[in-house]
């Protein structure tokens, strides 16, 4: 209380203000970067539509149990990286920010009885995800994903379709040399025997295992293959491979996935250590990498078949496959190769005026043009006309609409800033004239 009373007037002034920053691991997307994201989101939405995926939204947060159950309590994402929301009252539910979209989409599939819809149900979400990870290059606490899920189709053709759609995203985004890494991780028929073999192998080498990996050996031996510890590299290289332990049904499925990819001309590299350490994952597993960047733990995106998840979240057994592609890393990759992430379009026209003070006329004409769908900036500062036109040229507007005495007779001057020409145009024709020019110049 007493401290509150001692607040001095000085502390209300900017010089005494604390300097606030965006939280660690988050970024403001300034307009240029936002334009890059918008372009990627546009490609994602266009692809989703072309491949028959319907966009939906799920909440940014869910009951924490959706993730604990749906992703698995013994995964990094849940164990270490889940952004839990502090309960507001003692009896309130435990919530967490979504670290990925699959669990939420599947929760929604079950909640809304989508098993009664025509199958498969193909859904897509584009938006931010949250993981309380240690921030570093390409690893943020808030990042963006394009997620697509095909629920209710056991494959293998849909597996190949999903992979091809993901690869096409990178092609259309302009990221060069993106490679598909592909594996099959078996199913509940063949994986248990493989896991026993894998466990026995690592148990034989337990003296060489770092502390963390020893724990994983108990909880989830598949995750040893995922280890980022450099000392594990040699052990992993000689570990038993799931591809040598697939049952016949999984083998047939995998061969068919590959045959469909071959037929579509989608190149891929078989990667026997590519695993997803969760029980509900099955068979097809894939990741997208920039060629040469595979070792950096910097996948651009990944996905797989998760035939057990719908049932795990309370629905009836339903096969499904999907992917999550990280948009932040695509922008980083584009910057790395010097490609334009997005081009911001300048306004088609700037509405300027001979009488600097007459903002009424300028705003009225601008409103007319905007109502016709044209992108115009209106000069509202009371500056000399020459200065107004200078700024218009600098921002690469194609035209200046100059309002002067002619307005009394219903005319304005239309100046082509690129050609340097100028002519009188009746106000009633202005929008049509500009729209025609916009078409031929791809402005606005
Ligand atoms: P995951 O669900 O972990 O397979 O992630 C799918 C994709 O999302 C990854 O391949 C990354 O492109 C992206 N991603 C995952 N975590 C992060 C993060 N912390 N920061 C930026 N992108 C991420």
pLDDT single digits (tens) 126-176: 999 999 989 998 999 999 999 999 999 998 999 999 999 999 999 999 999
* Tens of pLDDT, residues 378-419: 999 999 999 999 999 999 999 999 999 999 999 999 999 989
Task: Taking residues 167-192, report their average pLDDT.
Answer: 94
Taking 80 as the threshold, does the pLDDT of residue 1 lie above it?
A: no
Residue predicted with more confidence, 139 or 92: 139
Task: Report how far residue 426's alpha carbon sits from residue 277's, in angstroms, rounded to the nearest whole number.
Answer: 69
Cα angle 43, 46, 47; round to 5: 85
Structure confidence at residue 306 (pLDDT):
93
Output the DSSP codes for 84-112.
Answer: EEPPSSTTSPPEEE-S-SHHHHHHHHHHT
Q: Residue 390, exposed/middle/buried by CB under 10 A (0-12, 13-18, 19+)?
A: exposed
Task: Report how far residue 358's alpha carbon sits from residue 379's, in angstroms, rounded to the nearest whole number.
Answer: 10
Task: Give the number of the atom of ligand 1 that is nearest the alpha carbon of residue 330.
Answer: 12
Closest protein CA for atom 12 of ligand 1: 326
Task: Give the number of the atom of ligand 1 that is nearest the alpha carbon of residue 329.
Answer: 12
What is the distance in A from the centroid of ligand 1 to the CA of 103? 15
* Tens of pLDDT, residues 199-239: 999 999 988 888 888 888 888 888 888 787 888 888 898 99
**In whole angstroms, how far apart are CA 177 and each of 41, 138, 389, 420?**
21, 18, 45, 44
Structure confidence at residue 340 (pLDDT):
78
**In whole angstroms, how far apart are CA 398 and each of 98, 109, 374, 387, 390?**
44, 49, 12, 16, 12
Strand pairing report for 95-97 and 121-130: unpaired
- Round the average pLDDT of the chain to a whole number and report it: 90
Q: Residue 23, exposed/middle/buried by CB under 10 A (0-12, 13-18, 19+)?
A: exposed
Taking 50 as the threshold, does the pLDDT of residue 105 lie above it?
A: yes
Task: Report how far residue 43's alpha carbon sits from residue 47's, in angstroms, rounded to the nearest whole number.
Answer: 6
Strand (E) positions, 186-310? 269-270, 282-290, 301-305
297 pLDDT band (50/70/90 cuts)? Answer: low
* Tens of pLDDT, residues 7-51: 454 555 556 677 999 999 999 999 999 999 999 999 999 999 999
* Tens of pLDDT, residues 314-332: 999 999 999 999 999 999 9
Of the residues 105, 179, 293, 326, which should be mutated to test ligand 1's pocket, given the most ligand atoms within 8 Å of the CB? 326
Closest protein CA for atom 4 of ligand 1: 302
Residue predicted with more confidence, 173 or 339: 173
Closest protein CA for atom 21 of ligand 1: 139
Taking 70 as the threshold, does the pLDDT of residue 296 lie above it?
A: no
What is the distance in A from the centroid of ligand 1 to the CA of 345? 30
Strand order in the sheet with 282-290: 54-55, 121-130, 142-151, 320-326, 301-305, 282-290, 178-184, 269-270
Taking 80 as the threshold, does the pLDDT of residue 376 lie above it?
A: yes
**279-315 burial code (b ≥16 CB/10 A, e <16):** bbbbbbbbbbbbeebeeeebbbbbbbbbbbbbebbeb
Tokens found for residue 355: 């009488």
Residue 214: count of CB within 10 angstroms of its CB? 14
Task: Give the number of the atom of ligand 1 that is nearest the alpha carbon of residue 141.
Answer: 19
Residues of the chain above pLDDT 70, percent:
93
Taking 80 as the threshold, does the pLDDT of residue 439 lie above it?
A: no
Residue 67: count of CB within 10 angstroms of its CB? 28
Our answer on whether the CB atom of 299 is closer than 6 Å to any ligand 1 atom is yes
Is-above-0.85 flag for pTM? yes
Taking 60 as the threshold, does the pLDDT of residue 6 lie above it?
A: no
């Amino acid at each position: 209380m007493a401290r509150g009373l001692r607040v001095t007037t000085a502390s209300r002034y900017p010089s005494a203000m604390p300097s606030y920053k965006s939280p660690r691991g988050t970024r403001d997307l300034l307009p240029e970067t936002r334009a890059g994201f918008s372009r990627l989101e546009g490609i994602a939405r266009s692809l989703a539509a072309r491949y028959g995926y319907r966009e939906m939204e799920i909440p940014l947060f869910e009951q924490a149990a959706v993730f604990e159950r749906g992703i698995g309590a013994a995964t990094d994402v849940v164990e270490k990286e889940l952004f839990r929301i502090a309960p507001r009252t003692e009896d309130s539910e435990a919530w967490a920010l979504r670290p990925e979209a699959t669990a939420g989409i599947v929760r929604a599939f079950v909640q809304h009885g989508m098993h009664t819809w025509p199958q498969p149900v193909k859904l897509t979400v584009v938006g931010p995800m949250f993981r309380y990870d240690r921030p570093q290059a390409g690893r943020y606490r808030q990042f963006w994903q394009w997620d697509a899920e095909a629920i209710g189709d056991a494959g293998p053709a849909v597996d190949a379709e999903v992979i091809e759609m993901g690869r096409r995203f990178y092609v259309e985004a302009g990221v060069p040399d993106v490679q598909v890494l592909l594996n099959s991780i078996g199913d509940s028929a063949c994986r248990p025997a493989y896991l026993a073999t894998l466990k026995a192998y690592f148990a034989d080498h337990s003296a060489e295992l770092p502390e963390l990996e020893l724990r994983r050996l108990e909880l989830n031996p598949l995750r040893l293959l995922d280890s980022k510890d450099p000392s594990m590299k040699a052990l992993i290289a000689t570990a038993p491979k799931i591809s040598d332990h697939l049952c016949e049904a999984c083998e047939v499925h995998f061969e068919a996935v590959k045959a469909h990819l071959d037929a579509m001309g989608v190149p891929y590299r078989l990667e026997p250590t590519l695993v997803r350490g969760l029980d509900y994952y099955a068979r097809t597993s894939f990741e997208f990498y920039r060629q040469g960047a595979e070792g950096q733990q910097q996948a651009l995106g990944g996905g797989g078949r998760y035939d057990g998840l719908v049932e795990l979240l309370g629905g009836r057994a339903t096969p499904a496959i999907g992917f999550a592609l990280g948009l932040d890393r695509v922008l980083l990759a584009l910057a790395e190769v010097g490609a334009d992430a997005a081009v911001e379009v300048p306004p088609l026209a700037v509405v300027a005026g001979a009488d600097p003070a007459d903002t009424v006329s300028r705003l009225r004409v601008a409103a007319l043009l905007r109502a016709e769908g044209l992108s115009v900036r209106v000069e509202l500062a009371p500056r000399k006309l020459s200065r107004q036109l200078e700024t218009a040229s600098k921002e690469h507007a194609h035209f200046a609409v100059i309002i002067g005495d002619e307005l009394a007779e219903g005319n304005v001057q239309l100046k082509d800033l690129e050609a340097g020409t100028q002519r009188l145009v009746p106000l009633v024709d202005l929008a049509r004239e500009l729209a025609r020019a916009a078409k031929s110049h791809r402005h606005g």
